[in-house]
């Protein structure tokens, strides 16, 4: 079982739709959580951090449920430019200070 | 441009050859990470440095792989006796301290290796 699991998709949605991605992580000691966006053949870029209280950045809302070890990302009013792969990322913390990436969820927003 | 820089962008090599990639992190960042990414997968951790010290290596990093960061600035990743299975995107990233909410991890645009 992978340490960070995501549905690979693809999610095909029309413009203006609301879409949600989920992610689970297996290490209960994980300390910090992020969503990265990766465009085709480009490097990953930080989209937003995910805080315990949940947080919002414009059309994007991230939620964290530590008890269930579950992270989500909600995108409202999807734009064509949102088409990308969304990577769920966890900092395992402790002596192993590195980010662990999920396989990513591919989003295709259709006109 | 003050971001993470990687060279070359693309490398095509024949099986059995050695290749070396270079990464220049953001100048004040003391942490430098190497990841590998294949099609349809997320980046997989290979190794990381804090300053010049290599603190962790993944099981993915066979003895054909070696990484250095001799002066705590740029880093090199060498693959000896390349195999077709080494074909991937090699991503370098850097952060100021532990990658966390206040010190995000920044990636370079990667070196795409093709082994024929």
Mean pLDDT, rounded, of chain B: 94
pLDDT in tens, A78-104: 999 999 999 999 998 776 678 999 999
3-state secondary structure of B86: helix
Closest CA to A103 of B68, B42, B52, B109: B42
Which of B35, B42, B93, B114 is most worth mutating to test chain A (most A CB atoms within 10 A of its CB)? B42
The first and second tokens of residue A96, run together, are: 């192993």
DSSP letter for each residue of A68-107: TTEEEEEE-S--GGG-EEEEEEEE--TT---EEE---EEE
Q: How many CA atoms lie within 13 A of A54 on its CB side?
A: 8
Q: How many CA atoms lie within 13 A of B80 on its CB side?
A: 6
Distance from CA of A38 to the nearest CA of B (A): 10
pLDDT in tens, A20-78: 999 999 998 898 999 999 999 899 999 999 998 899 999 999 999 999 999 999 999 99
pLDDT in tens, B36-90: 999 999 999 999 999 999 999 998 888 999 999 998 899 999 999 999 999 999 9
Distance from CA of A104 to the nearest CA of B (A): 6
Question: Which chain B residues are Cβ-neighbours of A42 within 8 angstroms?
Answer: 109
Distance from CA of B72 to the nearest CA of A (A): 18
Predicted pLDDT of residue B2: 75
Count of Cβ atoms closer than 10 Å to residue B7 Cβ:
13
The answer to whether A43 contacts B48, with C-beta atoms less than 8 Å apart, is no
Q: Are B98 and B105 in contact (CB under 8 A)?
A: no
Residue A111 Cα distances to A63, A91, B107, angstroms: 28, 36, 30
Q: What is the dihedral of CA B92, A92, B39, B5, to 10 degrees?
A: -10
The answer to whether A70 contacts chain B (CB < 8 Å) is: no
Q: Are A89 and A102 in contact (CB under 8 A)?
A: yes
The answer to whether residue B26 scores a pLDDT higher than 80 is yes
């Amino acid at each position: 079982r992978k340490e960070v699991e995501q549905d690979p998709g693809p999610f095909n949605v029309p413009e203006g739709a609301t879409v949600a991605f989920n992610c689970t992580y297996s290490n209960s000691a994980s300390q910090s959580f992020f969503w990265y966006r990766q465009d085709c053949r480009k490097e990953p870029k930080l989209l937003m951090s995910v805080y315990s209280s949940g947080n919002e950045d414009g059309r994007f809302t991230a939620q964290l449920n530590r008890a269930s070890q579950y992270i989500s990302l909600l995108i409202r009013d999807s734009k064509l430019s949102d088409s990308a792969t969304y990577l769920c990322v966890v900092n395992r913390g402790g002596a192993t200070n590195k980010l662990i990436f999920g396989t990513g969820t591919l989003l295709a927003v259709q006109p | 441009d003050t971001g993470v820089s990687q060279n070359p962008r693309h490398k095509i090599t024949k099986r059995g050859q050695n290749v070396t990639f270079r990464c220049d992190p953001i100048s004040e960042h003391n942490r430098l990470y190497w990841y590998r990414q294949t099609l349809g997968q997320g980046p997989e951790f290979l190794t990381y440095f804090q300053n010049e010290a290599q603190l962790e290596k993944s099981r993915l990093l066979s003895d054909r792989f070696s990484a250095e960061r001799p002066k705590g600035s740029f880093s090199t990743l060498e693959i000896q006796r390349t195999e077709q299975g080494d074909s991937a995107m090699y991503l370098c990233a850097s952060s100021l301290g532990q990658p966390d909410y206040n010190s995000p991890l920044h990636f370079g645009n990667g070196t795409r290796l093709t082994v024929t």
